[in-house]
Amino acid sequence: KVITRHIWEVDKEKANEIRLSQWGKKVYARRKQTIERSFADAKQHHGHRYARFRGRAQVQMQCLLAATAQNIKKIAIKLFLLRFFRLFFNLFNKIQIKNPIYGLNKKITPELYRGLSSI
């Protein structure tokens, strides 16, 4: 009797081992929030429901333009959040507090702010 296995069968078994491990289950659960959401956004807002053109090259161009638009949106959101939090910390840094740990007036830094949450 001869048993034949695909050339990638060992790799598939390793991938399944990782996927079924505790860590793999956690990572796979996050997939809905990250990857699947990106495809849903592309389908809903960027025309991936139907191809507007015919031919592989033109459909690929449509997909790449949609992906570029999604990446630009992600960059814009991250820049906005970075500026917002920078502004927040600059305003918050101007406030002087009496720190019960040191008994001194200190400027609030992000490191000190993390420590104040336990007070």
**pLDDT tens per residue, range 63-116:** 899 889 989 998 999 888 888 887 777 666 665 555 555 555 555 566 655 555
User: CA–CA separation, 13 vs 19, rounded Å?
Assistant: 10
Tell me if the pTM is above 0.85. Answer: no
DSSP state of 117: T
Q: Are 55 and 62 in contact (CB under 8 A)?
A: no
43 contacts: CB under 8 Å, gap ≥ 6: 49
C-alpha closest to that of 90 among 119, 63, 113:
113
In this structure, how many other beta carbons lie within 10 angstroms of the beta carbon of residue 81?
10
